[in-house]
Structure 1
């Protein structure tokens, strides 16, 4: 076993050794330390280990894997060695593992403490969990890893070492195949449904609100362009739930305009001029629109934070669309209405109010 603090490469002089060990079914390789790249006390961990899965024992080779570890526990070391941590990990091996561990420790324990060959590296998922020194031959199948500084470190090592004895076989639980043609048809159907919804709403607004309905339609188109522009700018992927969020924001945009228009009509019936009616209507409705949209945005943020996958796509389009709807209602609609105030006919709304009273 060797170590390196820079990105290593296989030494040229190891070619014969590698070839020889390949015959034993194992090839030495470089692996990173478990906490590679992390900072401790301002110093980055850049340790690499050059190890072999096979350990030379006399004229043969021995291999010890996680399947022979039957138990791993984090414990407190009541008699730590000077300068070492007060925590340790207790390991227990199966009968077969105890024999292999005895043979390996009998060889490792003969080296000096400064020799890297005295260390036994424990590897999981191409990461060295820990590489403790082998102090003596261990024959009873029970071993301890000493010198750990914190109980959290001891628990982490025990969990990782213990997880190595869990045989995991991947099995297919559920499989779905969606052809590109079917997926394209679903997207196209959803888009056409959204377009149909926009057209129907635009026609409805023009029929019931005349010129002010045209303002609502303009605000609706502006918000749609703004929404798609933001999606394109952020590189977001448009999913089916995302399309649903866009359709929902269409209703949010029109809803704000309906509140504004109804308030304008009420102000006109009170005898105010179109300019004053528009100013008064916006001053009374703006906070209602703001509060309604803010609650929707908060709900979208919760969906984005706790949701996964397509739910986040819905939340993103909903949040962007609602913010755009609030902007178009408060800024765009007001600007356009102020510009066309002279063309509004207050007497129409007064006549409607009078007809309603006569009917009663």
Structure 2
């Protein structure tokens, strides 16, 4: 339909211009192909496959032109549309599968974090753990505390080296700030291992040592800023080029991923609800069908019961008639 419409449109526009299509043009001469409506249709069909010469098609046989048109419609238009539909459906399924895989990977990461919290949980020993698990947890905590103490010792040594160095003042300031942040971070890790974290805090009275705004603004915020500087994602060093948009898109990946997970969960819930509704409707239809069958069986049973009653009455009448007949035949039987 679109091909015919474009062919008619081009034919109408060109036919109005007598310089392109003179009225006294000899049809045997090679002129503008759009001056003839059938040549215009054929030219539009050839443009679908890519512009090429079709003079060898016209001069052969009319059946060849018909077969060419059928091939263009069914081969180049319909089959390509089917292929596009299949690819689009495959792409949507791939996006859905990738979202599910992302959700599974996130669940795996959360489970690993939760397992790490369980290792450094509130109680040093848990009665439900086996002996090997208790020893492993104790050794892990002891090794972690020893590593933190060793790191604090070497950081103190590095502080002394920074003071002895006679380099630039800016380098000393930056190195001192970095060392202070890492020193505070090591102390915080030491406190987390010793006191626990979040719901696994060993003492609720000591929870304020880790969960307080001072540590958040003195350590966590600067560490995040430094990480962004190192990774080249900070707005302070972002250029005015398109890299800023790329960084913003990277920063938006997590909300987009969460939205995708939310959409996937909603779709799963909707599919589950739809399946449940289909199951309920199927059960209701089966129940109604069984009720109709039961009603039909009750009607049949009632009719059979009435027939049995009628047959019983008829049998009683026959017995009475038989007795009366026997009395007539043998009057001395009494």
**After TM superposition, is the score higher than 0.5?**
no
Higher share of residues assigned helix: 2
Return the TM-score normalized by structure 2.
0.18
| TM-score normalised to structure 1 length | 0.17
The structure whose Rg is larger is 2
Q: Which has the higher strand share?
A: 1
